[in-house]
Structure 1
C-alpha cells in the first residue's frame, strides 16, 4: 500500500513517466548514458556467514587512528522527537543524510521500520515466533492486548521539494503482511560518491514491552524507533561479489546491522521524567512549561536508543583508561531496585577496564546502563552503542547467584558495545560474531575474576552447602552438543527453533574455549586483539575472524577444524574410553623353533608352568599386593571410540603401581587401540584429563576404571546441580 500525500504521489509518478520523454527530447536516438540507472540487487534472502575473507580495503581499510573521524561516517541522523507519555507515542522529524560509497548511481533506497514488527500478528516477527517457540523456550513470548501493539508510520518522505512514494518489500520472502522494510524510489538518483538528503516525518507507537523495546507503566525504553537506512555493501565486503543492499526484515531472533555515522537528537519529554540516551548530553536541558528538551549527540555509532521514565534515579561515576577519554558512567534505575545500582555501576567500570585492556581502548565519553522496572524484564539485557539495559533485584543474597547474575548480564550487555557496537558485524546474517563471541569474551572475564556460578537452592543453603560451577562448564550444558541442528555461522532466522538459536551463545563460547586450549590463551587473546585492531569501525565477517586467527596463531589446522566443523558445519564430538583389557604375558602354547630345534608346548603344560611360577613368586614375595608386579608382565589394551568429529586428544593410562603414561590420539580414526606392556595392570584410562575439550557431548564416558569408580560421575553431576538453577535465573536475559 502506498502512503504519502496526493501531490507527492503525483510528482513521483510524473517523474517516472517523464524520464523517457526527457531522454527523447534531448537527442534523437537512445543513449545508454541517459537510461535510468539499473536497480541494485538485495542480499540473498538466506544469506549467512561467508567463507571468503573480505578485501583488504573493505570499508575503507584498517582504521589507524589518524583519520579525522573514528569511523567512516556514511550516514547522519538529525532527529527532533517528542514523547507523548500518556500514549507512549513518539512524534518525530528526521533529516537523513547518506553517502553513496559505490561507483554507480543509486535511484532506490531501503528503510528499516523495525517497530512494525509489533503492529500485528502478520509481521515476520510474530509469524516466526509462533513456529520457533513451539520447538523451544524463548524470550519475547508476551501476548499483546488491545492498546498494547506498536508500530511506526511514515507521514512523509521528501527529497528536496519532491515528495517520495514508498512501498513495503520482503527481502527474506516473509509474509506479505510484514511492513518492516520500506522501498523508496528517489526523485533524483544519488551519483557515485554523492550524498542523499531526505526529510522524514514519522510517528512511532511503542508496544507494551515484548522484546527489546517498549513501555510498562511510566517506563519507556525507546529502541528501533526511527526510520533507518539499510547498508549498501560493495564487492569484497562480507562476501559480496557485486554492489548490493543488505536489508533484512525484522525477524523473531534477529537483531541489527547498520552503517556508522553521526546522531544529533533532541528529545522532548515531560519534565518529571528521567532521560538517558546514546551519546553525550549537549549543555543543560531546556525546560518550557511542563516539558523539557534534551539534546544528545554521538558520532561514530550506528544506532540510537533512549529511555524516559518517571521517578527514576541515577548513580554516577567516571572511568578512564590508557588510550581512552574520561568516561562518564551512569546507572539509571527505579527506586525499588536501588540494591542493584551500585553492583551494575561497578560491573560496568570493571568491564570498561577489561575490554579496553584485552581488545582495545574504549573510544567514547559515556557509558549508560538502565535497570528496567519489575514487569518489564524483556526490556532488560539489551544493547545499543554507549547505552545498554541490565537487570534488577530488590535484594542481593550473597549466598545465591544474584550477584553473579547482575555481573554477568551487565558484562554481557556492555561487551556488546565492542562486538555489536565497535566491530559492528551483521547480526542478521552472522549472530555468532556478536552474541557468541561476546559470550566467550564475557566468560573469559569472569574466569579471570574466578567468579563461579553458585546454586540458589534454598535446601542446600540451609545445609550450609554452596556448590559452584566454572562458567565454561555451564556454557557447555546449554550448547546442544549432542545433536546440533544448525551451524553456528547460519543466519539468525533459519533455525530449527529458538532453543537452537540460543546455542549461538553457548556453543560459540564453548567452541572458542576449545580453540583457545589448542592455540594457547595468550595466542587467542593476541588473535582477538588483532581482530579488533583490523576490524573495529568496519564490518567483519566470520571469514575475517578466521583469517585473523590463522595469521596470528600460524596454526591453520586447528582454526580451520573448529570453523569447518562447528561454524560452517554441525559436527559434534563424543570420544569415549570404550574398554580396558589386561592380559598376563605368559608363555604361548604351540610349536616353536628355537636354536634350530622345533619343540612344542601344550596348553596344559603351559598352564602348569604358569601356576608353578605364581606359587614360587608368592613364596618369594609374601607381602606382594594383589595388583602389584608378578612373575610375568601384563599387556594392557585400552580401546577408545570416536562417535563424532576428530579432535586431538591426550589419553592418560594409569597402572596399578601408581605410574601413568600419556599418549596422543591425533588422527581421524573412528576407533583406536593402545597397548602397554608393563609389570602391572592398567587400572584406569582417561581422555581429556585437563578438561580442555568442552565441546565433547558426553564427558561422563571420557574415563573408565577396571574397578567401579563413580568419582567422575559425581563431579559432573555436582557441576550440573550447581549450574541448572542458577542458569535458569539469567537465561531470560540472553
Structure 2
C-alpha cells in the first residue's frame, strides 16, 4: 500500500503590532466593524471574543494571589494565528526598570503624578507565569516591547502556539500564575488588611481587523503598560472564584453566584459577568457595606453596594446617593445601564492612590470621615463618584482604546460628569465647614474650573494624541479639562438638544464595539447636521494644538457732521461751522431735556476686533449711550475686523462673547472695552480682598 502524503500546512503569517505612535484615528471604522451595531436582538450584549475562567486564592499575609486561568479566545480573522500576546500589567510594579517607572521619573519631573510613593524592598509586585499550556503542550513566552520601551519591561509577553488557531477557530490556554500585589502606589495594591486586586491576571491582547479603529489589515493592539495610559481589551465573559480568609469582605466585578462556601477559615466566592472586558476585586478586613437598589427604563434591577472602612463611615450614604443619581442621569442621557450590579469601594486612610479607578460594574472612589453639605468635600465626594461611575459608560460599555485615544474616555467622561453636575445645579463650593460658618462660601461653576486647568494658551499636545507620548503628566491631564472645554463649546455651537441627540446616537451605534475619534466625529457631523462646526473644532483641538484668543482692540466714536458745500454752492469752513452751530442751537431748543451727547447729528461708532489664534464664531455686542445694544456675528477667517454703527447714540462699550459661551478663548479679560475708563471691577476685587483679610484677622483675634 502506497504511503499517504501528509496534508500541506498553510504558512502562518506574522501579524504586525499596532505602532507606538498610533493615535487620533482619522478614517471612520467600517459599518460592520466589531460585528456591526448591537441591536438588542442578539443573544449577548457584545460579540464576545474571549472567555476567562479563573480560580484564585489570596494569601492575605503576603498579599499574593495564586491563580489558575483557562482562557478561551476566538480568532475573528480570516487567516491562522500562530502567536498571541498577553498583557502582564502587574509587572509595571516589578522594579524601577519597567516602562511605567521609567516614564514616571521623566514625566513627573515636568508635571505631577497621582501617586508619589516610593516602593521599598518587600513592597514591589508582579506576575510570574508558572506555566502556559495549549492542550498537553507547554508553551514558551518571551517579553516584547511594542512601543520601544526598556528591555527590562515585562508587561507584554508573546506566546508562540504549538498549533495555530485557524480562521474562525478557538484557542484554549491553561495558565498557572502567581500575582504579587505591590504596596498601593497607583491603581492597585495593598495597604494593611486592604487589597485592591486589579490588573492582576494574564489578559490577551486585541486582534483588530481591517476597518476597525484605523487598521488596514489584521494587527495586534497590545501596548506596554505606560505611566500615562490605561487599558483596552476584548469583550467576553468572566467566571471567577475567589478564596480569601473568612473574616475578609469581598466585592468584585459582576454578580455573586449562590452562597459563598466556607471551610477551614477560608471562604470562596464565585462571580460571573458577561459582556465586560476586565475583572477587578477587593478583599479587606474590617470593612462594612451599605446596600441600595436602582431601577430605570430599559435597565434590569441594579443592586448597588458601597464597601467602606469604619473611618470613612460618613462617606457611605453620600456615595450611594451619588451612584444612584449617576445611574439615572447616564441612563437617561446616553442609554440604559445594562448590568445588574454596581459595587463602589472606598479605600482606607493611607491608600488614597487606590481611589479613583474604574472597572466594569466596579469602581473605587474617595473617602471622608464626614461629608458636609454645601462644602468643597461634598463636591469632591460627589464628583469623584460620578466620574468613576461615568467610566462605566465611556471606558466600559463603549470600550474605547485608553492607550491610544484617552480623550474618548477621560475627556468625554469629564464633560458628561460636568453636564450632570450642571443639571443638578451643583457648583464647586470653595469653602471648608469653617469658612462656611464664617459666611464665606464662593462657588465656581464646573466648566469654569475645567477651563482654568485646560492650558488653552499654549497646548503642548493634540487631544487626540496617545496617552504616553506627551510633554508631561500635566499635558496628559489636559485630556480631561481641555476635552471637557472643547465639548462645552461644541454644545454651545450645535445647540444642547442637537448635541444630546448626537451622543445618544453615538452610544446606540458604538456600545460594545470600541469606537475611534473618527467614529465620534462622524456621528456628531451626521446627527447635528452641522459638519462645519464639528470639523473645525476637531481639526483645531483633536488633531491639532490650536488656541483661540480673540480680543476687543478698540472703540472709535465720532460725530457725523455735515460736510462743506450746501446745495451745490461752495462753502468755507467758517460758514460750515456757523451752520453746524445753528443746527445744534435749534435742536437744543426743540429738545430741552436731551442728554449731553444727544444732538441733531448721528454718531459713527467703529469697533475693532482682533484674533491671535484660530478662527472661532464670536458674538460681538455693542452697547450705546441710550441703553440699547446691537449684536453682530464675527465668524470668518479674518485676523481682524472692523464693524461700524451709525445712529443717534454713540457706543459706550463693546464685548465679545457677552453671554460667556466661548470657554475655549484663552484670555477672557481682553474681550471687552469701554470708551471711558471704568474702575468698578478693580474696586470690586479690592473690596473682596479687603473683606477676606478682615475675616482672617477677625478669626485670628478669636483664637
- TM class, shorter-chain normalised? over 0.9
Q: CA deviation at 1:717?
A: 11
Match of 1:662 in 2: 631
Q: Which residue of 2 aligns with 1:676?
A: 645
Which of the residues 640, 656, 667 maps onto 2:609? 640
CA distance in 2, matches of 1:207, 1:585: 78
**Cα displacement (A) at 1:612:** 5.2
1:66 aligns with 2:66: no
1:688 is aligned to 2:657: yes
Q: Is the 8 A contact 1:474 1:720 kept in 2?
A: no
- Cα distance in 2 for residues equivalent to 1:716 and 1:145: 49
TM-score, scaled to structure 2: 0.95
1:624 is matched with which residue?
Answer: 594
- Residue 587 (1) aligns with residue 556 (2): no
Report the equivalent of 1:305: 280
**2:87 is the counterpart of 1:112:** yes
Name the residue aligned to 1:447.
422
SS at match of 1:91: strand
Change (3 A) 1:482 1:457: farther
Please give the alpha-carbon distance, in whole angstroms, between the structure 2 residues aligned to 1:431 and 1:618. 68
Post-superposition shift, 1:607? 4.7
Q: Give the aligned partner of residue 250 of structure 1.
A: 225
How do residues 454-473 of structure 1 correspond to structure 2 at under 5 angstroms?
454-456=429-431, 460-461=435-436, 463-473=438-448
Query: Could you tell me how far 1:119 is from its partner in structure 2?
Result: 0.9
Q: TM-score, normalised by structure 1?
A: 0.91
Checking the alignment, whether the CA contact within 8 Å between 2:75 and 2:167 is kept in structure 1 is: yes
461-470 vs 314-323, greater mean Cα deviation: 461-470
Instruction: Work out which of the residue numbers 137, 146, 152 in structure 1 matches 2:112.
Output: 137
Shift of 1:648: 1.0
Deviation at 1:598, TM superposition (A): 5.7
Measured in 1, the distance between the counterparts of 2:554 and 2:438 equals 39
Residue 178 of structure 1 pairs with residue 153 of structure 2 = yes
- Partner SS, residue 614 of structure 2: coil
Q: 1:417 aligns with which of 367, 376, 392?
A: 392
Aligned to 2:132: 157
Distance 1:429 1:358 in 2: 26
Q: Do residues 360 (structure 1) and 335 (structure 2) align?
A: yes
Instruction: Give the secondary structure class of the aligned counterpart of 2:570.
Output: strand
The CA deviation at 1:263 is 0.3
Unaligned runs of 5+ in 1: 1-23, 722-734
Structure 2 residue aligned with 1:402, among 366, 377, 380? 377
- Cα deviations by residue, 1:332-382 (Å, 9 ceiling, x for unpaired): 000110100000001111111111111111111100000001111111011
SS in 2 for 1:456: coil
3-state SS of 2:421 partner:
helix
1:323–1:640 Cα change, 3 Å: same
Displacement of 1:644? 1.0
How far apart are the structure 2 equivalents of 1:712 and 1:613?
A: 40
Return closer, same or farther for 1:605/1:180 CA change in 2, 3 Å cut-off.
farther
Task: Provide Cα deviations, 1:97-135, integer angstroms capped at 9, x if missing partner.
Answer: 100000000000000000111111111111111111111
1:168 is aligned, of 127, 143, 146, to 143
| Matched-pair contact (CA < 8 Å) for 1:467–1:718 | no
Quick one: distance in 2 between partners of 1:668 and 1:446? 35
Distance 2:211 2:688 in 1: 46
Which residue of the partner structure matches residue 701 of structure 2?
none
Match of 1:222 in 2: 197
Structure 1 CA distance for aligned equivalents of residues 344 and 688 of structure 2: 32
Deviation by residue 1:539-564 (Cα, 9 ceiling, x = unmatched): 10000011111111111101111111
Name which of 593, 596, 601 aligns with 2:572.
601
CA distance in 1, matches of 2:44, 2:617: 46
Whether the 8 Å contact between 2:371 and 2:381 is mirrored in structure 1 is no
Write the deviation string for residues 380-435 of structure 1: whole angstroms up to 9, x where unpaired: 01100000001110122234211111111111000100000000000000000000
1:54-93 paired onto structure 2 within 5 Å:
54-93=29-68
Cα distance in 1 between the residues matched to 2:476 and 2:680: 34
Q: 1:388 to 1:719 in 2, by over 3 A?
A: farther
Kindly indicate whether residue 489 of structure 2 is the aligned counterpart of residue 489 of structure 1. no
Is 1:271 the counterpart of 2:246 in the alignment? yes
Q: Residue 588 of structure 1 contacts residue 601 of structure 1 at CA under 8 Å; is this kept in 2?
A: no
- Mapped to 2, the partners of 1:159 and 1:341 lie a distance apart of 46
For residues 686 and 90 of structure 2, what CA distance do their matches in structure 1 show?
A: 44
Asked if the contact 1:700/1:712 (under 8 Å) is kept, the reply is no
Q: CA deviation at 1:632?
A: 1.7
Q: What's the CA shift for 1:620? A: 5.2
Could you tell me how far apart the structure 1 residues matched to 2:389 and 2:681 are?
37
- 1:41 pairs with 9, 16, 20, which one? 16
| Closer, same or farther: CA 535–680 of 1 in aligned 2, 3 Å | same
> How big is the shift at 1:456?
2.1
Is the contact between residue 412 and residue 442 of structure 1 (CA under 8 Å) also seen in structure 2?
Answer: yes
Alignment match, 2:96: 121
> Is contact 1:574–1:698 with CA below 8 Å preserved after alignment?
yes
Runs of 5+ in structure 2 lacking a partner? 691-703
Distance 1:621 1:230 in 2: 83
State the number of aligned residues: 688
1:346 maps to 2:315: no
- Residues 482-540 of structure 1, C-alpha deviations (whole Å, 9 max, x = no match): 11111110000011111110010011011111111111111111100000000001110
